[in-house]
């Protein structure tokens, strides 16, 4: 059993309608203005719908004076681990005294999380102000697109434009940019990252990216670009996680085509050793510039260790570290020690222990299951699961079945959530009828799961070492975070 000290959060769950509890204070007026902006943005294409074109976002950038060209960037694509890697890179750059702007998606609780400056989400007031400043240009592009029978700018295109403009105004020293969906046609790809990071690639978003790893890798590889001509010549560096051979072949071919240098996990960098520690893990990492030891990472799981060495190599590549130059090891230690990744096996409370995890595809669910098995010793573990209708729910359930004693299936409040009865039918096929319970809402599901975890055993005493894990979707993790009164991060 992991015996880390357990922070005691309030045991009361908050209804999702109450929203997140913001301790540091945007006013009700600011939140209302932001809600109005969100309502306007929600009339546009959602980020689950894309068109193979960068014309609209590129036009917006031109009208704004190309803000995305005013700072260097590290660009991150892949299927799993993108957000954690992005946040790790951000933390390392901050520890090395660089002012950062960060794009991540989707958000867990509040849309401001998508645009961070100095490791913190922009305020709702700044979010609204940025949107209103760009709105005339956005509407101009909408009109131009409509004239030729095209769509308005998508919500994700608008958010990307807002982020790049906010970074230029700050100004930041470096942008750390996570793609939304794919790579080649992702709105973020109007930026030229001098470091392109590819996390592990798997099958996800197959309706848009392709039905096989080769096709999906081809889309992700689009962020690896030829370095633009400049007075100070530089190479683009592709930093690539371990991949299935067919995906790796596509990525390497792309790197050759655009004359990019390549650093590969398992070749130029790797995890040398990891040891489970209180509150996370202790790592020894082989980076591009040598060995970095005594690294404490306050996140659980082998996959997070591999995310860490990928982030390290990316930051080394950004600064030009290599065999004859290592980054300051104390800064690297401090950076990793400061890392947070909300919604990634994040503890909400204890007695019983409740974790949330944003796993939303089979690979993510498998990583979660492996970590729960390897690093914890729950005597009873209850799952609360809600999955979006366009996801591989059966694959997620299959990965989770070996580690869950019982499962409570529910709806997370999103209109995209899979019907509870349909999800329950899939769960029964994997778990058996006696291990599956349904609940109409997430608060109901949590109360049910907690009651199961706290059931009295045959001895008449509550089973010690019981836990609950809430997973299946980023939306599910975010809604649960709000129920426990956690602030957006």
Average pLDDT of the segment spanning 462-466: 71
Give 23 or 135, the one with higher predicted confidence.
Answer: 135
Beta strand extents in 305-427 (DSSP E only): 346-349, 353-356, 380-385, 406-409
pLDDT score recorded for residue 230: 73
The encoded tokens of residue 352 equal 């019983």
Predicted local confidence at residue 436, as pLDDT: 98
Residue 307, pLDDT > 60, answer: yes
- What does each C-alpha distance from 180 to 76, 90, 391 come to in angstroms? 10, 17, 16
**Under 8 Å between Cβ of 306 and 242:** yes
Collapsing DSSP to helix, strand or coil, 26 comes out as: coil
Cite the DSSP H helix spans in 122-266: 124-147, 155-169, 206-209, 213-220, 245-257
Omega within 30 of 0 (cis) for the link into 177: no
Q: Rounded to 5 degrees, what are φ and ψ at 84?
A: -65, -45
CB proximity list for 111: less than 8 A, separation 6 or greater: 34, 38, 127, 159
Place of tokens 């409370």: 349
At 463, the pLDDT band (50, 70, 90 cuts) reads low
Torsion of CA 464, 436, 360, 414, to 10 degrees: -110
Q: What is the pLDDT of residue 380?
A: 94
SS3 call for 436: strand
User: Does 263 or 390 have the greater pLDDT score?
Assistant: 263
The answer to whether the CB of 46 falls within 8 A of the CB of 155 is: yes
Task: Give the model's pLDDT for residue 268.
Answer: 96
Residue 227 bridge partners (DSSP): none
| CA distances from residue 144 to 56, 57, 80 in whole angstroms, order as listed | 9, 13, 36
- Strand arrangement of the beta sheet that strand 270-277 belongs to: 270-277, 280-287, 290-297
Give one DSSP letter per residue of 450-483, joined into a string: HHHHT-B-TTSSBPTTEEEEEES-HHHHHHHHHH
Summary mean pLDDT of the chain = 92
User: Exposed e or buried b for every residue in 395-418, given b needs 16+ CB within 10 A?
Assistant: bbbbbbbebbbbbbbbbbbbeebb
Query: Looking at residue 19, what is its pLDDT?
Result: 40
Range from 36-50, 254-268, 269-283, 460-474 carrying the lowest mean pLDDT: 460-474
Per-residue confidence (pLDDT) for residue 203, from 0 to 100? 74
Query: Are 87 and 102 spatial neighbours (Cβ–Cβ below 8 Å)?
Result: yes
Q: Which range, of 99-113, 363-377, 459-473, averages the lowest pLDDT?
A: 459-473
In whole angstroms, give the CA distance from residue 250 to residue 364.
23
Residue-level pLDDT at 228: 85
**Per-residue pLDDT tens digits for 77-124:** 999 999 999 999 999 999 999 999 999 999 999 999 999 999 999 999
Q: Is the pLDDT of residue 173 over 50?
A: yes
Please state the φ and ψ torsions of residue 280, each to the nearest 5 degrees.
165, -125
Q: Strands, DSSP E only, in 200-304?
A: 237-240, 261-264, 270-277, 280-287, 290-297
């Amino acid at each position: 059993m992991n015996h880390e000290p357990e922070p005691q959060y309030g045991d009361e769950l908050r209804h999702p309608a109450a929203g997140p509890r913001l301790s540091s204070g945007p006013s009700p007026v600011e939140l209302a203005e932001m809600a109005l902006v969100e309502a306007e943005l929600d009339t546009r294409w959602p980020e689950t719908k894309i068109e193979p074109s960068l014309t609209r976002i590129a036009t917006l950038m031109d009208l704004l004076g190309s803000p995305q060209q005013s700072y260097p960037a590290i660009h991150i694509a892949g299927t799993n681990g993108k957000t954690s890697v992005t946040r790790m890179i951000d933390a390392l750059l901050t520890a090395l005294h660089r002012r950062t702007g960060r794009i991540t998606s989707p958000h867990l609780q509040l849309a401001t999380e998508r645009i961070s400056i100095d490791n913190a989400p922009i305020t709702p007031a700044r979010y609204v102000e940025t949107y209103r400043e760009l709105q005339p240009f956005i509407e101009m592009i909408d009109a131009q697109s409509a004239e030729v029978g095209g769509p308005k700018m998508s919500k994700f295109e608008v958010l990307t434009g807002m982020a790049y403009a906010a970074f230029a105004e700050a100004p930041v020293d470096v942008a750390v940019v996570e793609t939304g969906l794919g790579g080649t046609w992702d709105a973020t790809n109007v930026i030229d990252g001098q470091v392109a990071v590819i996390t592990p690639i798997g099958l996800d978003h197959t309706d848009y990216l392709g039905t096989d790893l080769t096709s999906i890798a081809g889309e992700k590889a689009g962020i690896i670009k030829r370095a633009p001509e400049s007075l100070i010549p530089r190479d683009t560096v592709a930093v690539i996680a371990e991949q299935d051979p067919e995906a790796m072949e596509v990525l390497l071919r792309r790197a050759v085509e655009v004359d990019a240098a390549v650093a590969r996990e398992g070749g130029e960098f790797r995890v040398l050793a990891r040891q489970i520690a209180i509150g996370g893990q202790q790592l020894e990492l082989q980076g591009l510039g040598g060995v970095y030891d005594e690294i404490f990472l306050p996140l659980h799981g082998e996959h997070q260790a591999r995310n860490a060495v990928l982030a390290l190599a990316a930051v080394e590549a950004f600064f030009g570290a290599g065999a004859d130059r290592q980054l300051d090891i104390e800064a690297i230690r401090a950076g990793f020690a400061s890392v947070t990744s909300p919604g990634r096996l994040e503890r909400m409370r204890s007695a019983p222990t409740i974790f949330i995890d944003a796993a939303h595809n089979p690979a993510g669910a498998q990583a979660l299951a492996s970590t729960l098995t390897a690093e914890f010793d729950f005597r009873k573990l209850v799952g609360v699961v809600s999955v979006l209708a366009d996801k591989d729910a059966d694959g997620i359930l299959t990965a989770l079945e070996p580690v869950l004693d019982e499962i409570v299936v529910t709806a997370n409040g999103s209109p995209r959530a899979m019907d509870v009865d349909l999800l329950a039918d899939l769960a029964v096929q994997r778990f058996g009828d006696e291990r599956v319970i349904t609940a109409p809402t997430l608060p109901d599901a949590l109360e049910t799961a907690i009651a199961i975890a706290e059931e009295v055993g045959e001895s008449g005493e509550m089973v010690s070492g019981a836990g609950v894990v809430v997973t299946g979707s980023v939306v599910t993790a975010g809604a649960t975070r709000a129920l426990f009164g956690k602030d957006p991060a």
